[in-house]
Every structure is written in structure tokens, then in C-alpha cells.
């Protein structure tokens, strides 16, 4: 999942602090593989030493960890949202694709419900579902390396985004435009499209996805690994396409991605993915909530939306800037904005802030920090609270700014006196730019004409308060989109999953799959029926197989 998103969730009584991040040193997993050598995690690697070939370090696992074993609590509870803690019969810690095949095959043979986890940042209980009996944990599959045979960079599913950024950049000076939170796992993040601070200028991570390796199960119950590429001649190309935005838990278990920018030529790996800016300016802006009334709040939000409408075209100089305005509950005390802009383009930030504050009688404070790009990428977004809270999230896309009616609704819910919890907020992320250069069906991620992404969140600590805090967020969302059946007309983001969208009590506007996948859903259903005909991989928001097959 996720992109940055778990930041500034809770302040005041639930103060958030940036999570500490330990990034492994650049190691053999990030070095260019010599022609003919075995890639890490491959079957060939395990026998390479006896064949006289330089061997990769042996991968961990497979380890089958059951209830009662010392490692089990750490594996069962390795999720971001404290509302959900799993209780599977066992967790497989895997280090290779072959390990995954073995784990999945055993689950099929014994009739057990199986699912997969990489970074553990999911917001719903898709992994911690009580019906899940077997979890395949890919967190030990962390290799990042250049594959000369495919002329692409391989990233294993368990690699954290911070690992990916560090190894790609220090090894070859390149990157992929993925999320802001360095502790998110590549496995689930890429499947939802992959979005972050560089996406306005470089597109989504999946726009650079060349191939994917997936463990699938056929109609006869046989597990096997398949590599699918974006090449038009590849008979498995439909499986690649399905992994460019449909989200996780649908078709099989992803074990590895390969990235190469479309149209990149030659064998020089330094030219096969985009180079990030040499340095970035990270900024934190803060307004004193107590100095706003309803009119000045509306002016601020309206100004922000007007700026984004004018500055989200592909190729615009303003796409060098990424920002998130955080419209917090009033008891928090501040309205905030965080983001990054390429060093040398600070004028874009100045113009952005001036436009947002035009006519607003509240002067914001500003903090900026210029860092080398990698340092900024590894620092992540300010205020990430870490996996400490019980959470409920919702999402939406916007093709235009919020209407004046919606701004009034938002102000009402952020200032309600019958609800005193400080944790709820709506963040508006700048979007568009290079993302909007592709057709909606070029990838499974269809939202290619939007300018903002919305992230709704509430967080708390006491399980006894679940209903109260979830209800507040549901009511805000319902009232904001009252004109369109309680859901956003421009769609929602699958990596911020929200099972309320499949509940007619909260959604009378559009089918949940139309919000997430638009017109791509029918094609995804056909691919689901082909590659997962037993519907082995499923959850509350997974692709339903096409009945025609």
C-alpha cells in the first residue's frame, strides 16, 4: 500500500513522531549480476557454489512458523493497522520463488485459505482475516539488482521502498517514482500503481514496470511460477497488465518485479530508468487553526484547489512540486502542508504558498530543508506515527477542486463540538502531471485524468472507541459526496482499501469496482478467471472471476 499516508494522523493527545528507519547497507543483492550468474533467490543460486560459480548468499527459509513458536507473535501481528491482528495456523517465511511455490502448493493440497504479505502496511484485514489459515510472508525476499538478460532492474517483493531507492541510486543513479514512506514493501505497493513525490514528473511506478514473476495456481490445483512481461508478443502479457494497478491478493503471489522505462534503449543500466533530481527541498507549512473562521477556511481550501487545477498539466514546471495539505480536526490546533520540490525550483513553492494564502488572514509558518535526493527519500514524510494506532481510512480522486458545498461540509465535520477527538483529517495530495499522459486502459490503474488524490484517516488507541471514531469518518465521507450516493464520482484508490465501498449502507452511488477500476474491471475479471480459476486468492475487495469463463 501505501505510499506515505501514515503521517500526521494523530496530534495533540496522540502525538505522532517520525518512525526510525534502518536501511541495510548496499550489498551483493544490489550489484550487477554477471552474465550467466545466478540471481539471488533462484534455484540456480543454491547450487552455484558446488558448480564453481560465485554464489549469492543463501536465502533465508523456508521456515514454517506455527502457533506457540517464539517467532509467531512477531509474524502474526506484523501489520500497520492495530485494529487487525492475524491468527493463521502458520506463517511461511520464504526466501525464494521456489519456497513460495512449495508453501502455496501445500495450502492447496490441504485445503487451507492462503494469502500473502510483504511490507505489512495494509489498512483492511485482508491478511489478518480470521478465515486466513496460511500467510506467505515475503519480507525476507529483499534483493534489488540489475538483470542483464532482461535489461531491467529486479526488485523482490519483500524489499522495502527505502532499500529500493538506496540500491538503485547508489548502484546506478536511477530510481522509480514510488511512495514517500520508505518502510512500505514493494510487493503490495507496486500492485496498486505505486505513487509518490516524483510521480507528477515521472508517472506511476507501474508506468516503468517491465515484467512480473507470479506464483499462480491452475484449475487442477498445480502451483507454478510465471514471468509475464509487457512485450506485445508475450502470451502472458495479460498477467503483467493485471499487476499494473489492480491491487494485491487477486491473481497469485508476486515474488519479483523488473523495471525498465518504456522506450529505453541499449544495455547501459544507468539509462534504463529515470534519474532523480540531485537534491530536494522538503517543506512543512503550518497555519494556526484557532485563527480561522468558516469563511477563511473556505478561502484556503478553495485557493488550494484552484492552484492544483491550473498546475497539473503534463510537462508543467509546477509538476516539480508535490504537496499534501492536511485539513485536520480543529482540536489538533493546526492545518498543515508538507511536500517536496526539486532544488532550484523553490520559486514554484513560493508561488504555491502565495496562491494558497491569497486573501487568507492567517500567516503560516514555514520550515524548509535542502537535502541530497537520497537523504530526502530515506527520511520519508514528516510525522509518520508508525504502527501504533487503530485506523480507518478512505480515499478518493478529484478531477476538479472541492465544491463550495463540499468545503462547507468539511468545515462542519472538522469543527464539530459533539465529537472531541483530534485524530481525524482529510489530506489533499497533488496528482496529475506525467501520470495523466497514459490512456486509462494502458495499465490497470485507470485514473489518468485526475489532479488530486484524497486521503481520509482517523486513528485512535482504545478498541472500545472503534464504533465512535469509524462513524465520524463514515459520516464525513457520506456527507462530502452526498450528491453522488455517498462516494466520490471520480473514483477511489485501491491501495487505500475501504470495505465500506462494497456496503450498500454507505454506498448507493456506484459499484465498488467501478470506483477502483472503472472500465478496466471487465478485463480484470477475464484475467482473474484465466489465472486464478479456483478463486484461491481473494478478499473483500478482490477481483471477482468472470462468470463467462
Measured distance between the N- and C-terminal CA atoms of the chain, rounded to whole angstroms: 30
Rg (CA), the chain: 23
Q: 318 and 308 in contact (C-beta within 8 Å)? A: no
- Candidates 397, 496, 516, 521; catalytic one: 496
Q: 270 and 150 in contact (C-beta within 8 Å)? A: no
Residue 496 annotated to the active site: yes
DSSP per-residue codes, 188-231: HHHHTT---TTHHHH--GGGGEEEEEEEEE-TTS-EEEEEEES-
Longest dimension (CA), the chain: 74
Q: CB-hemisphere CA count at 13 Å for 167?
A: 26
Alpha-carbon gap, residue 153 to 260, rounded angstroms: 7
**Cα–Cα distances in angstroms (integers) from residue 545 to residues 107, 438, 536, in the given order:** 21, 26, 11
- Candidates 429, 477, 516, 521; catalytic one: 429
Buried b (16+ CB within 10 A) or exposed e, 170-194: ebbebbbbbbbbbbbbbbbbbbbbb
Residue 429 annotated to the active site: yes
Alpha-carbon gap, residue 202 to 177, rounded angstroms: 6
Alpha-carbon gap, residue 282 to 7, rounded angstroms: 15
Other CB atoms within 10 A of residue 282 CB: 20
CB neighbours of 111 closer than 8 A, spacing ≥ 6?
none
Residues with catalytic roles: 429, 496
Amino acid at each position: 500500500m501505501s505510499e506515505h499516508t501514515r503521517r500526521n494522523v494523530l496530534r495533540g493527545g496522540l502525538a505522532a513522531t517520525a518512525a526510525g528507519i534502518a536501511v541495510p547497507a548496499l550489498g551483493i543483492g544490489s550489484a550487477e549480476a554477471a552474465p550467466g550468474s545466478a540471481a539471488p533467490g533462484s534455484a540456480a543460486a543454491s547450487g552455484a557454489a558446488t558448480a564453481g560459480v560465485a554464489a549469492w548468499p543463501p536465502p533465508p527459509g523456508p521456515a514454517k512458523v506455527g502457533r506457540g513458536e517464539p517467532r509467531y507473535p512477531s509474524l502474526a501481528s506484523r501489520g500497520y493497522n492495530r485494529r487487525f491482528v492475524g491468527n493463521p495456523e502458520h506463517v511461511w517465511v520464504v526466501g525464494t520463488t521456489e519456497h513460495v511455490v512449495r508453501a502455496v502448493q501445500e495450502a492447496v493440497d490441504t485445503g487451507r485459505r492462503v494469502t500473502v504479505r510483504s511490507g505489512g502496511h495494509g489498512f483492511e484485514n485482508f491478511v489478518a482475516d480470521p478465515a486466513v489459515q496460511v500467510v506467505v510472508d515475503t519480507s525476507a525476499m529483499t534483493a534489488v539488482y540489475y538483470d542483464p538478460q532482461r535489461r531491467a532492474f529486479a526488485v523482490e517483493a519483500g524489499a522495502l521502498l527505502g532499500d529500493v531507492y538506496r540500491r538503485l541510486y547508489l548502484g546506478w543513479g536511477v530510481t522509480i517514482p514510488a511512495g514517500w514512506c520508505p518502510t512500505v514493501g514493494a510487493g503490495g505497493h507496486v500492485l496498486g500503481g505505486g505513487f509518490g513525490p516524483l510521480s507528477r514528473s515521472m508517472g506511476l511506478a507501474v508506468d516503468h514496470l517491465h515484467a512480473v514473476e507470479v506464483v499462480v495456481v491452475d484449475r487442477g490445483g498445480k502451483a507454478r511460477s510465471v514471468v509475464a512481461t509487457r512485450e506485445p508478443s508475450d502470451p502472458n502479457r495479460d498477467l503483467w497488465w493485471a499487476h499494473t494497478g489492480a491491487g494485491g491478493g487477486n491473481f497469485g503471489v508476486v515474488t519479483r518485479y523488473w523495471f525498465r522505462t518504456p522506450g529505453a534503449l541499449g544495455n547501459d543500466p544507468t539509462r534504463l530508468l529515470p534519474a532523480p533530481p540531485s537534491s530536494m527541498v522538503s517543506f512543512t507549512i503550518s497555519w494556526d487553526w484557532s485563527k480561522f473562521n468558516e469563511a477563511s477556511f473556505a478561502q484556503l481550501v478553495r485557493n488550494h484547489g484552484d492552484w492544483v487545477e491550473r498546475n497539473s498539466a503534463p510537462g508543467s514546471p509546477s509538476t516539480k512540486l508535490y504537496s499534501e495539505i492536511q485539513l485536520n480536526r480543529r482540536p489538533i490546533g493546526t492545518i498543515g502542508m508538507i511536500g517536496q520540490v526539486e532544488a532550484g525550483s523553490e520559486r514554484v513553492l513560493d508561488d504555491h504558498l502565495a496562491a494558497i494564502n491569497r486573501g487568507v488572514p492567517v500567516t503560516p509558518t514555514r520550515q524548509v530543508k535542502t537535502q541530497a535526493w537520497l537523504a530526502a527519500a530515506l527520511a520519508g514524510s514528516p510525522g509518520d506515527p508508525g504502527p501504533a494506532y487503530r485506523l480507518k481510512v478512505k480515499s478518493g480522486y478529484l478531477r476538479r477542486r472541492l465544491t463550495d458545498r463540499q468545503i462547507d461540509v468539511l468545515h462542519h465535520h472538522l469543527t464539530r463540538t459533539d465529537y472531541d477527538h483530534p485524530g481525524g483529517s482529510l489530506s489533499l495530495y497533488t496528482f496529475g502531471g506525467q501520470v495523466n499522459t497514459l490512456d486509462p486502459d494502458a495499465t490497470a490503474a485507470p485514473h489518468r485524468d485526475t489532479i488530486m488524490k484524497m486521503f481520509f484517516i482517523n486513528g485512535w488507541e482504545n478498541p472500545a472507541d472503534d464504533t465512535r471514531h469509524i462513524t465520524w469518518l463514515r459520516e464525513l465521507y457520506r456527507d462530502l459526496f452526498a450528491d453522488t450516493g455517498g462516494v466520490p464520482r471520480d473514483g477511489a484508490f485501491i491501495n487505500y482499501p475501504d470495505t465500506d465501498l462494497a456496503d450498500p449502507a454507505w454506498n448507493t452511488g456506484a459499484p465498488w469496482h467501478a470506483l477502483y477500476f472503472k472500465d478496466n474491471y471487465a478485463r480484470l475479471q477475464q484475467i482473474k478467471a484465466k489465472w486464478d480459476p479456483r478463486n484461491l486468492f481473494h478478499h473483500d475487495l478482490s477481483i471477482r472471476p468472470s462468470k463467462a469463463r
